[in-house]
Amino acid sequence: METSQIIPLVIIAIIGILTLIFLIPGLTGAPYVPTLKKSVELALTKLYPIKKGDLLIDLGAGDGVVLYTATKHGAKALGIEINPILTLIAKWRFRKNKKITMKCRNFYHCHFPKETTVVYAFAVSIHIEKIRRKIEDEVTRLDKPIYFISNAFNLKDLKPLKQLDTFYLYKIGPAKK
C-alpha cells in the first residue's frame, strides 16, 4: 500500500476512535457537555454554598470546571471521568491545584471516600435513577447522608430541598436497616 492510501485510513481510524471515546459515555451517563462556569458558580454559592471541609465528587467530571469552582470556595474535589482524553486535560489544567483529584474510571465502579459531603452530576434523564441508586448504595455503605446536586434532571418521588435555575439539590440518607 502506498503512503497516499495509508494517510486517509489513519485519519479515518483516528476520527473513529475519538468519536467512540466521546460518544460511548453517553450510554452510561451523558456525553461530554460542560456546565457553564457561571451556572456552576451559582449552584455552588446559592443552591449549595460549598465551603472548606466539603468534599465534592463530580460523577463524570469532564474537563473539571465543577471541581475547580468547588476548590475556589475552599472545598476539596474528586472528579471521576470515563473519557481518558478529558481526564488528561483536567489533570494537566489543574496539576498545581492540590485540592483536586482526577480519576479515569467508570463512576458506577468507584467507592466514594468517607469524607464525601456532596455529589454533583450532569447526566441524561435515562441514567439519573441509576445514578441515584449508586449514591444510595454509597450513602448506606458510609452510613451518613450526602447532598446531591443534579443539573438538568430531577429525581422521581423525591422532593428537592431546593431548586435553582437548572439545578436540583437533594439530601440522600442511608437506607433504613
Ligand X SMILES: C[S@@+](CC[C@H](N)C(=O)[O-])C[C@H]1O[C@@H](n2cnc3c(N)ncnc32)[C@H](O)[C@@H]1O
Residues 6+ apart with CB under 8 A from 43: 35, 120, 149, 151, 164, 165, 167
Among 112, 122, 148, 168, binds ligand X (CB under 6 A): 122
By CB under 6 A, tell whether 134 contacts ligand X: no
Subset of residues 2 to 21 that bind ligand X, contact rule: CB under 6 A: none
> What DSSP designation does 95 have?
T
* Part in contact with ligand X (CB under 6 A); list of ranges 6-14, 41-49, 101-109, 135-143: 101-109
Task: Report strand pairing: 55-59 vs 118-121.
Answer: parallel
Q: Which stretch binds ligand X (CB under 6 A): 4-12, 42-50, 59-67, 133-141?
A: 59-67
Q: Which three cell numbers stand for residue 59?
A: 460523577
80 near ligand X, judged by CB under 6 A: yes
Helix (H, G, I), strand (E, B) or coil at 167: strand
Which stretch, 55-63, 93-101, 153-161, 167-175, contacts ligand X (CB under 6 A)?
55-63
Residues at the contact surface with ligand X, assessed by CB under 6 A: 25, 28-30, 32-35, 58, 60-62, 65-66, 80-83, 86, 106-108, 122
